Amino acid sequence: EAAEYVAGYILQRIKEYDPTPERPFVLGLPTGGSPTEVYRLLAASYKAGEVSFENVVTFNMDEYVGIPRDHPQTYHSFMWTHFFSHVNVRPENVHILDGNAPDLEAECSRFEDAIQEAGGIDLFLAGIGEDGHIAFNEPGSSLGSQTRVKTLAYDTILANSRFFDNDVNQVPRMALTVGVQTVLDAREVVTLALGARKAVALQKCIEGGVNHMWTLSSLQLHRHSMIVADEDATLELQVKTVKYFKSIEQ
C-alpha cells in the first residue's frame, strides 16, 4: 500500500509537470529493497499508457566503487533490471555515478554539475537505512555534504551482504554517493520506509532532533519532504505522532 501511494504520487507529479524535451522532469532515484515495488508499479503504468518517461531525466543516489558495471549487484544493473528497461526513458537521460572512473573525485564533481545543468532535481525518491542513513551518507556524515566518495559503515556492509550471497567479504567497502545537501537541494523529497527493521531509525529521524548521526533527520529542514511508511515502520513512534499524521492523510 505504501509503495502504491508513492508510485501514484510520482505519476501525479510527472503528469502535472507535463515535461517536454526543453523542460524535462528531473527525478532522483534510490536502489535497494524498498523502491523495487515502486519501480514495478511505475513500469506497469507506462505499459498501460498512463505515463511517458521520454522527457524524464534521472539521477541515481549512489554506486559501489570497484566492481564491474555489468556486475549483477551494481546499481547500474539494478536500475536497468528493475526499471529503466521496462519504460521509455532515454539512455542519455539516465545518470548513474561511475564507480570505476579513473578519478573518483572528478566523477563526483561531474555528477553535481550535471544535476545543475539539468535544472536541479524536482523530486528525489529516497529510502532509509536501519541506522537512519540516506543514500550512503552514513552516521556522522556532514549535513552540508555533496556528492563524494564514502567508506561504508560495517552495519551497511552487513545489511547489503544479503545481495552478495550473505558474504560480507564480497560487499564493496566504498561507494560514490550524493551528499545530504544534494538531497536537500531537491525541490521535493519523498522517503519510503518499510518494515519493522526501519522503525528505530524512523523514530529517531521524526521525533528526535536534526542529528548527523541519523542523516535522514536532515529532512526536518526541508521545505517539501514527505515520509511514507507502512504500519511496521511506525512501531517505535509515539501513538500521538502516528495519530496526528494519520489524521492529516485522512
Give the Cα-Cα-Cα angle 230, 218, 33 (nearest 5 degrees). 40
- Virtual CA dihedral for 125, 40, 174, 171, nearest 10 degrees? 150
62, 63, 112, 122: the catalytic one is: 62
63, 122, 131, 185: the catalytic one is: 131
3-class state of residue 72 by DSSP: coil
63, 107, 122, 138: the catalytic one is: 138
Pairwise CA distance, residues 142 & 149, whole Å: 13
3-class state of residue 146 by DSSP: coil
Q: Under 8 Å CB-to-CB from 163, ≥6 apart: which residues? A: 73, 171
Torsion sign, CA atoms 12, 224, 144, 126: negative
Tell me which residue of 86, 71, 79 sits closest to 30, measured CA to CA. Answer: 79
3-class state of residue 164 by DSSP: coil
Task: Say whether 62 is catalytic.
Answer: yes
Pairwise CA distance, residues 11 & 4, whole Å: 11
Task: Say whether 133 is catalytic.
Answer: yes
Q: Which residues are catalytic?
A: 62, 131, 133, 138
